[in-house]
Amino acid sequence: MAQETRWGRFRRSEAASGYLLVSPTAAYAILLLAAPLAMIILYSVFRDGYLTVIPAFTFDNYVETWSSPIYRSVMIRSLSVSMAVTLVTVLLAYPVAYFVSFHVDPSRKSLWLFLITIPFWTSYLIRVFLWKVILGYNGVVNSALMSIGVIDEPLTWINYNIQAFVVTLAHAYAPFAILPIFVAMEKIDRSLLEAGQDLGESRLMTFWRVTLPLSMAGVVAAVLIVFIPVIGDYVTPNLIGGGKIPMIANMIENLMLVRDNKPLGSAIAVSAMLIVTVVSLIFVFLNRRFLGGTK
């Protein structure tokens, strides 16, 4: 047999076929995702020259992002809203996932899941807006309570504030939390639970020592899948908060487009990505460390 060239071997190899197939998608992602993200990172260390960007290296944007009380309070607000939403969503979702996975007849599971997912696919904007209509000063809740005489004047603690954000977002991301937990629970071998009880544990302790640790991977996925989009939510602060209680996304928009300070906007965007990454990593790490869960 003739000696093959390196290139000839590569061309018929698995790697070459893989690269050839993945290349259109990868090229698209590199051009329209990796390159723009790199551009943002680059902008974040440039100087702003009002309406232009001056390519001179500086860390000033980061210094301002992290030292200015305004930006810091927006970041803390975003972080606390998304942590609260994540906590509420995941805690409320867990029993639902548990019910569907363990107490629903297998042939009807997809029907339940279908019911749970439908609201998620209805217009996000309209769902957020509905909460404004429900919780507003002249909204559904207040008008209903007043018409049946429970209250005399509209409640104000339910509208246009952080609590309203949390309710709205928790509703919006509910199915996001249920699905990964459900998937993790489905993977649990049912005989493990029988083994747990066979070895003398009560139902509750079996849940605690077997089901919960084994479903933890799903909980981690649920936490990340809720936490990440919520911290970057734009619509809820805009609609429910009337634009007066901004979160990170509103701040980025404001800097990039209204004040046209792209370097500072980029620095905040990069910082937001860093925060998301760090919080996610800490969470995954804690889960590994204390629960032995795997991701």
Q: Measured between alpha carbons, how far is 244 from 231 in angstroms, rounded to an integer?
A: 17
Binding test (CB under 8 A) with other proteins, winner from 105, 147, 290, 292: 147
In three-state secondary structure terms, 207 is helix
In the range 47-86, which residues lie near other proteins by CB under 8 A?
Answer: none
In three-state secondary structure terms, 48 is strand
- Closest approach, Cβ 198 to other proteins, in A, equals 20
- Decide if 287 contacts 218 (C-beta within 8 A): no
In the range 12-31, which residues lie near other proteins by CB under 8 A?
Answer: 14-19, 21-26, 28-30
Per-residue binder mask for other proteins (CB under 8 A), 209-238, x = binder: ---------------xx--xx-xxxxx---
Binding test (CB under 8 A) with other proteins, winner from 83, 84, 87, 96: 96
Residues whose CB falls within 8 Å of the CB of residue 249, separated by 6 or more in sequence, listed in order: 232, 233, 234, 237
Q: Is 87 in the site for other proteins (CB under 8 A)?
A: no
Binding test (CB under 8 A) with other proteins, winner from 124, 160, 207, 283: 124
Closer residue to other proteins (CB): 222 or 290 = 222
- Closest approach, Cβ 33 to other proteins, in A, equals 6
Closer residue to other proteins (CB): 216 or 276 = 276
Binding test (CB under 8 A) with other proteins, winner from 11, 37, 72, 281: 37
Alpha-carbon distance values, 105 to 102, 108, 109, 116, 178 (Å): 8, 5, 6, 16, 18
- Closest approach, Cβ 56 to other proteins, in A, equals 17
DSSP state of 34: I
Binding test (CB under 8 A) with other proteins, winner from 138, 197, 202, 294: 138
Closer residue to other proteins (CB): 14 or 152 = 14
Per-residue binder mask for other proteins (CB under 8 A), 172-211, x = binder: --xx---x--x---x-------------------------
DSSP H stretches of helix in the chain: 6-11, 14-29, 35-44, 60-67, 69-103, 109-121, 124-135, 140-147, 162-172, 174-186, 190-198, 203-206, 212-231, 235-239, 248-253, 262-291
Q: Is 126 in the site for other proteins (CB under 8 A)?
A: yes
Q: Measured between alpha carbons, how far is 267 from 42 in angstroms, rounded to an integer?
A: 9
DSSP letters of 229-259?
Answer: HHHT--HHHHHTSTTSS--HHHHHHIIIIIS
Structure tokens at 112: 């339940």
Q: Is 258 in the site for other proteins (CB under 8 A)?
A: no
Q: Is 137 in the site for other proteins (CB under 8 A)?
A: no
- Closest approach, Cβ 295 to other proteins, in A, equals 13
